[in-house]
Amino acid sequence: MPDNAIVKIQPLGFPWETADPFLFCVHHDDAYPKGNGRFGPDASLAGRSLGQDFGGKDGWSMYHGQQVPGFPSHPHRGFETVTIVRQGLTDHSDSLGAAARFGGGDVQWLTAGKGIVHSEMFPLLSTDQANPLELFQI
């Protein structure tokens, strides 16, 4: 065992570099503005590549969302995902009929098995203050 357990220090990118190419790990840390009453941001979406907005313009991203930030329906098969929410909210729904809202301190473990279609959206509920979001996905 090495004298120092820390092997390397480097800035965390998006996604994080992992030892296994089949392990995907990301950290979402978004300073969303106040909401518009329809779960989306009360801010201009001009200059964003909606559907592929990962740039962090103004401190937040829409990701694959068009009106509400997040990840609309998409398939998974043959692996598991773990979502750990530190702050903010995530709305989950899937092709097996499950739906839930989870937030700060909650963990969701999804086993895709032979296949599932699900969505994870980040509703901006507060219309009078910012809606920060921080979560990890593995």
pLDDT in tens, 18-34: 777 777 788 999 999 99
Tell me if 124 is assigned to some domain.
yes
pLDDT of residue 115: 94
User: Who's near 95: CB < 8 A, 6+ residues apart?
Assistant: 116, 117, 118
Confidence category of residue 2, pLDDT binned at 50, 70, 90: low
The tally of domains found in the chain comes to 1
pTM assigned to the model: 0.86
Give the Cα separation of 68 and 63 in Å (integer). Answer: 9
Tell me if 9 is assigned to some domain.
no
Tell me if 35 is assigned to some domain.
yes
- Strands of 10-138 (E only): list them: 26-32, 70-76, 80-87, 89-94, 99-103, 107-111, 116-121, 131-137
Tell me if 6 is assigned to some domain.
no
CATH of the domain at 71: 2.60.120
